[in-house]
Amino acid sequence: MAIMTKGQTGLTGNTAIAYAMKQINPDVCAAYPITPSTAIIEDFSSYVADGAVDTELITVESEHSAMSACIGAAAAGARVMTATSAQGLALMWEMLYIASGMRFPIVIANVNRALSAPINIHCDHSDSMGARDSGWIQLYSETVQEAYDNFIQAVRIAENEKVLLPVMVCFDGFITSHAIENISLLDDSEVRRFIGEYRPKHYLLDTDNPITYGAMTLQDTYIEFKHQQSQAMTRAKDVAIEVGREFGKEFGRTYGLMETYRLDDAEVAIVILNSAAGTTKVAVDELRKQGKKVGILRPRLFRPFPFREIADALKNVKAVAILDRADSMNGFGGPLFNEVRSALYELDARPRVISRIYGLGGRDYKVKDALEVFADLKKIAETGKVETLQKYITL
CATH number of the domain that 47 lies in?
3.40.50.970
Burial class (CB in 10 A: 0-12, 13-18, 19+), 196: exposed
Identify whether the C-beta of residue 237 lies closer than 8 Å to the C-beta of residue 301. Answer: yes
Count CB atoms within 10 A of the CB of residue 230.
Answer: 12
**DSSP code string of 228-249:** HHHHHHHHHHHHHHHHHHHHHH
* 267: nearest Cα among 323, 340, 316, 321: 316
Q: How many CA atoms lie within 13 A of 151 on its CB side?
A: 34
Contact 360, 326 (CB under 8 A): yes
Domain match, 115 and 160 both: yes
Q: In terms of residue numbers, what domain contains 223?
A: 7-251
The length of the chain in residues reads 395
Among residues 200, 225, 251, the one where a domain terminates is 251
Same domain, residue pair 172 and 72? yes
Q: Assign 69 to helix, strand or coil.
A: helix
Residue 29 forms part of a structural domain: yes
Closest by CA to 101, choosing from 136, 66, 68, 153, is 136
244 occurs within a structural domain: yes
CATH number of the domain enclosing 319 = 3.40.50.920
pTM of the model: 0.97
- The sheet with strand 319-324 has its strands ordered as 258-261, 294-299, 268-271, 319-324, 352-357, 390-392
What local confidence, expressed as pLDDT, does residue 2 receive? 55
**Tell me, what's the pLDDT at 1?**
53
pLDDT at 118: 97
- Asked whether residue 98 is assigned to any structural domain, the reply reads yes
**Is the domain of 243 the same as that of 265?**
no
**Residue pLDDT tens, the chain, 395 long:** 556 556 689 999 999 999 999 999 999 999 999 999 999 999 999 999 999 999 999 999 999 999 999 999 999 999 999 999 999 999 999 999 999 999 999 999 999 999 999 999 999 999 999 999 999 999 999 999 999 999 999 999 999 999 999 999 999 999 999 999 999 999 999 999 999 999 999 999 999 999 999 899 999 999 999 999 999 999 999 999 999 999 999 999 999 999 999 999 999 999 999 999 999 999 999 999 999 999 999 999 999 999 999 999 999 999 999 999 999 999 999 999 999 999 999 999 999 999 999 999 999 999 999 999 999 999 999 999 999 999 999 99
Q: Does residue 104 sit within a domain? A: yes
Answer for the pair 23, 47: CB distance below 8 angstroms, yes or no: no
Are 84 and 58 in contact, with CB atoms under 8 Å apart? no
Q: Are residues 156 and 234 in the same domain?
A: yes
Q: Do 59 and 183 fall within a single domain?
A: yes
Query: For 219, phi and psi rounded to 5 degrees?
Result: -60, -25
Bond prior to 351 in cis (omega within 30° of 0): no
The residues with which 10 forms a beta bridge, in sequence order, are 182
Same domain for 331 and 262, yes or no, is: yes
Ramachandran region of residue 258, left (φ > 0), alpha (ψ -120 to 50) or beta?
beta
Residues 327 and 244 in one domain: no
Q: Are residues 215 and 263 both part of a single domain?
A: no
Say which residues have a Cβ less than 8 Å from residue 194's Cβ, sequence separation at least 6: 152, 156, 186, 246, 247, 250
The CA-based diameter of the chain, rounded to the nearest angstrom, is: 70
Do 157 and 182 belong to one domain?
yes
231 and 286 fall within a common domain: no
- Note whether residue 306 is domain-resident: yes
CA distance 341 to 343: 5
> What is the total count of domains within the chain?
2
For residue 5, the model assigns a pLDDT of: 57
Instruction: Give the whole-angstrom CA distance, residue 166 versus residue 187.
Output: 25
Indicate whether 270 and 225 sit together in one domain.
Answer: no
Q: Where are the alpha helices (DSSP H) in the chain?
A: 13-24, 38-49, 63-75, 86-91, 93-101, 126-130, 144-159, 188-195, 222-251, 276-289, 307-314, 335-343, 367-383
Of 251, 267, 289, which marks where a domain is finished?
251
Instruction: For residue 2, tell me if it sits in a domain.
Output: no
State whether 121 and 153 are in the same domain: yes
- Domain stop point among 251, 271, 288: 251
Q: Which stretches within 315-350 are classed as H helix?
A: 335-343
Model pLDDT, residue 50 = 97
Between CA 194 and CA 146 the distance in angstroms is: 16
